[in-house]
Structure 1
Amino acid sequence: FKSRGRNREEASLGQVQHLREYQIIFYLNEEKNYAIQPLCRLLQVTRSAYYHWRDHPLSDRERKNQRLAQAIRQIHQAHPDMGYRRIRDELYGRYGLSVSDKRVLHICRYEEIQSTIKSPANSMTTPAKSPYHTAENILDRHFHAEAPNEKWCTDISEFRYGNGDRKHRMYLSAILDLYDRRIVAYKLSDQMPLSLVTDTLDQAVTAEPKAQPIFHSDRGKQYTSKQFHTKLRDLGMTQSMSRVGKCIDNGPMEGFWGMLKREQYYRRHFETRQELTDMITEYIDYYNHRRFQRRLNVLPPMTYHERFYQAA
């Protein structure tokens, strides 16, 4: 019985795959009296499959599979980086369709839909030769927070643009809140001076003037400088640092770099600084306001952030 049910569902998915062709054949045969066999040959579908679609009304589940498959193809075309779990979250959050991971995976496999291959992120840690201040790993991989602005992570990542041998670098500094995973502040620069991280911090304090979080970073020279340590102390923030060579200690920031680069940077070429800047700016806006995250109850970071204050 289970085998027959599975075969019937696969047949319904096959009907979804060629639904447009079947509809064209039906219209031309009924309205124009065109012969079915040459139409099937022209549109590269079998007559038996067409007759099955025409003569066997679909069940409610099969019709839902059709709607799901059409929505999944639309999502995949707009976001080829999405795997079946993120597609399922998009179906729920944006289309209002409640469906299991397993069912989405089954349809994706039938439709031969796969996410683009992941590539490693490339964060930038330039250790200081003589650091003024190194902090303990106070965060200690406790990446859960009970409220906004309790714990912030930060890091710098490198991007490139240009043609041929004339490649240029650009650096992105960002601060991420561990409660809602929103990007609190970010700054772009052609170099990695101390001002890159202090300006990012200033931007975050402007957005959240009362925040006094645990502030976690790696041991890059900007973060171990006297000026940065003093700035954090004056702001009432507690400095925390990853252990040497342990990028997992700053896992959420590494995860954000991976998302950004996998979804919008890798396999693309940016000729100008402006093109790259626009991509990063647009992605962070998308990430904060429209990218669903399962750890946030299938909500975007800013929606999750705002609901905290609505419930307070």
Structure 2
Amino acid sequence: MNDAFAPTATPDKAENTTNPVAFGLPVAVLLARVGLARSTYFHQLRAMARPDRDAGLLTLVRDAFEASGRRYGYRRVWLALRGNGVVMSAKRVMRLMTRHGLVPPLRRARRYSSYRGEIGGAAPANLVNRDFHAKAPNRLWVTDITEFRIPAGKAYLSPVIDCHGGMPVAWTIGTSPDSGLANRMLCEACATLKDGERPVIHSDRGCHYRWPGWVRICEEHNLTRSMSAKGCSPDNAAAEGFFGRLKQEFLHGRDFTGVTMDEFIR
């Protein structure tokens, strides 16, 4: 409601609708002209007079956001606050950050793709079907390769991520996205398995995951292979989401000028 419509009397004393306002008209006449209920008008006046209950929380949210270098989204800010004993819902954090412009810079770099067309035999079925929840560790793994570009060159990261906790089981990084990068990562991940653990390993249709070396490692450790549909990144959303958070918090908005590739990899 525009302040020009506010009566000279307080809401509690405004029961007399003949009190003049700035336009020299009774409140009832003005409300009738704009089609607003009288109860709604006075309720809004009282609401505007109440103190902002989010003022204290906004300070905490803003501090957590700034401490991240303005890189955290609302979920990461919520986790940081919860770790410090601040109890509030994630949706409330999202509303505060959106309302006050606390949004990290979004940069969509060209996505690296290892797809080189159909090779080998028939691809495994998509056993995951976009359900990336696992009830226990080492039940469902996802993997992919992502590219980092800095002035010194390009680096490629190949992790395998456990869908139970969302954390990497093993990873390799190098300057060439060859099959050895993926195979070494898978061998290191399999070395962490206990007797009887036979996870599903889900990937896209990149050539790394269809070459004989990868297939052999999966067979030796009784892993069940699963693959996304052709050119369908949502089918591997758990890996894509991990890369997105990693780059948002570590890569975007930072200047790596003068950083060597060895330093970047470390």
The TM tier, using the shorter chain, reads 0.7 to 0.9
The equivalent of 2:248 in structure 1 is: 262
Q: Contact conserved, 2:161 with 2:170, CA < 8 A, in 1?
A: yes
The equivalent of 2:262 in structure 1 is: 274
The equivalent of 2:157 in structure 1 is: 172
Q: Contact conserved, 1:132 with 1:226, CA < 8 A, in 2?
A: no
Note if 1:156 corresponds to 2:145.
Answer: yes
State the 1:118 CA deviation. 5.1
State the 1:262 CA deviation. 1.8
Q: Distance in 1 between matches of 2:169 and 2:146?
A: 16
Matches within 5 A, 1:188-227: 188-210=173-195, 211-227=197-213
Note if 1:9 corresponds to 2:9.
Answer: no
**TM-score normalised by L of structure 2:** 0.73
The equivalent of 2:131 in structure 1 is: 142
Supply the AA of the counterpart residue of 2:260.
T
State the 1:109 CA deviation. 5.8
Q: Distance in 2 between matches of 1:104 and 1:7?
A: 23
Q: Contact conserved, 1:123 with 1:257, CA < 8 A, in 2?
A: no
Q: Which consecutive residues of structure 2, in runs of 5 or more, have no partner in the other structure?
A: 1-42
Q: Distance in 2 between matches of 1:253 and 1:102?
A: 24
Aligned to 1:153, the other structure's residue is in SS state: strand
Change (3 A) 1:208 1:145: same
Alignment deviations for residues 14-48 of structure 1 (CA, whole Å, 9 cap, x no partner): xxxxxxxxxxxxxxxxxxxxxxxxxxxxxxxxxxx
State the 1:94 CA deviation. 1.6
Question: Which structure has the bigger radius of gyration?
Answer: 2
State the 1:69 CA deviation. 3.2
The equivalent of 2:76 in structure 1 is: 86
The equivalent of 2:39 in structure 1 is: none
The equivalent of 1:32 in structure 2 is: none
State the 1:114 CA deviation. 2.7
Work out the percentage of aligned pairs sharing the same amino acid: 30
State the 1:157 CA deviation. 0.6
Aligned to 1:171, the other structure's residue is in SS state: strand
State the 1:105 CA deviation. 4.8
Q: How many residues align?
A: 220
Q: Contact conserved, 2:114 with 2:208, CA < 8 A, in 1?
A: no
Supply the AA of the counterpart residue of 2:138.
N
Equivalent of residue 185 in structure 1, options 158, 170, 173: 170
Alignment deviations for residues 201-249 of structure 1 (CA, whole Å, 9 cap, x no partner): 1111222344311111111111101121111011111111111111111
Note if 1:122 corresponds to 2:111.
Answer: yes
Q: Larger % of helix: which?
A: 1
Q: Distance in 2 between matches of 1:128 and 1:226?
A: 16
**TM-score normalised by L of structure 1:** 0.63
Alignment deviations for residues 181-213 of structure 1 (CA, whole Å, 9 cap, x no partner): 111111001112221111101111222344311
Q: Distance in 2 between matches of 1:109 and 1:252?
A: 25
Alignment deviations for residues 124-154 of structure 1 (CA, whole Å, 9 cap, x no partner): 3232563256212122222222211111111
Change (3 A) 1:83 1:130: closer
Alignment deviations for residues 34-85 of structure 1 (CA, whole Å, 9 cap, x no partner): xxxxxxxxxxxxxxxxxxxxxxxxxxx57xx43x233223211112122344
Q: Which consecutive residues of structure 1, in runs of 5 or more, have no partner in the other structure?
A: 11-60, 279-312
Aligned to 2:219, the other structure's residue is in SS state: helix
Aligned to 2:50, the other structure's residue is in SS state: helix
Change (3 A) 1:143 1:228: same
Q: Distance in 1 between matches of 2:95 and 2:48?
A: 11
Change (3 A) 1:97 1:130: closer
Q: Contact conserved, 1:123 with 1:254, CA < 8 A, in 2?
A: no
Q: Distance in 2 between matches of 1:139 and 1:90?
A: 31
Q: Contact conserved, 1:154 with 1:253, CA < 8 A, in 2?
A: yes
Q: Distance in 1 between matches of 2:169 and 2:262?
A: 22
Q: Distance in 2 between matches of 1:9 and 1:105?
A: 21
* RMSD (Å), alpha carbons: 2.5
Note if 1:113 corresponds to 2:102.
Answer: yes
Matches within 5 A, 1:87-102: 87-91=77-81, 93-101=82-90
